[in-house]
Amino acid sequence: MFLDEIESMPLDLQVKLLRVFETRTIERLGSNKAIPLDLRFVAATKEDLEAASNEGRFRKDLFYRLNVITLAIPPLRERLEDIPVLFHYLTRGARARYRKEVPEISREFLSELMQREWPGNVRELRNVADRFVLGLEGQPKAAGAVAAVAGPQSGTLAERVSAYERDIIAAELEKNDGKIKPTYEALSVSRKALYEKMKKYGLGKDEVGE
């Protein structure tokens, strides 16, 4: 269930939805017989529902009924290491939909994908995978030091992805004379995320400035 639709739902309909959550039953129109439901609810939203409930746009009781276990998923731009793995997975899905073979995915193109801001997150990446399989996209657009990142020729997918990401971060740090702020801004990640990745890949901060 995606809450983008529920957020625009009138409050009176939210009451009815809350009743379904609480009783796990529904009634057909014109009937008084309750029909039991055997189901689990998984909801997703891009909006801060607690703020929306405080503003009166979303019922507080419905919010607290839904807010049992919360999993916050960072935007795609903050988990660059996931992009190659996701892209390979999404191209396989596109191959099945369009019945076309997946072209060879070059390391240069993966590096270019890891430089985008991805405001549409995984849905945007899926569109790119579709265009790639259809032959409408695939040439690397990165320039400068990042485009020159070679990446490993062997190893597991996870090892190659980690190597790509390390080289990209190292190249951006070198480009910015080791300064943190322009580096995380250029890579569209948070300061914390950049520090964590630098620690992960052994990129020391001895010569890093602000």
Span(s) in the chain for CATH 3.40.50.300: 3-66
Query: Hey, what are 77's tokens?
Result: 């731009």
Instruction: Check whether 2 has a pLDDT greater than 60.
Output: no
Q: What tens digit of pLDDT does each residue of 62-117 get?
A: 888 888 888 888 888 888 888 988 999 999 999 999 999 988 888 888 888 888 88
Please report the pLDDT score of residue 36 as a whole number: 92
Q: What tens digit of pLDDT does each residue of 8-48 get?
A: 678 888 888 888 888 989 888 888 899 999 888 888 887 88
Instruction: Check whether 6 has a pLDDT greater than 80.
Output: no
The string of DSSP codes covering 37-99 is -------B-SS-HHHHHHTTSS-HHHHHHH-SS------GGG-TTHHHHHHHHHHHHHHHHHT
Q: Which one has a higher pLDDT value, 208 or 82?
A: 82
Helix (DSSP H) and strand (DSSP E) numbers for the chain: 11, 2
Query: Hey, what are 140's tokens?
Result: 């690397």
Please report the pLDDT score of residue 138 as a whole number: 75
Please report the pLDDT score of residue 140 as a whole number: 43
Q: What Rg, from alpha-carbon coordinates, does the chain have?
A: 23
Q: What tens digit of pLDDT does each residue of 135-187 get?
A: 888 754 443 434 444 455 566 777 777 787 888 888 888 888 888 888 888 88
How buried is 18 (Cβ within 10 angstroms: 0-12 exposed, 13-18 middle, 19+ buried)?
A: middle
Helices (H), 139-179: 144-147, 157-175
Architecture of domain 3-66: 3-Layer(aba) Sandwich (3.40)
Phi, psi of 92 (to 5 degrees): -65, -40
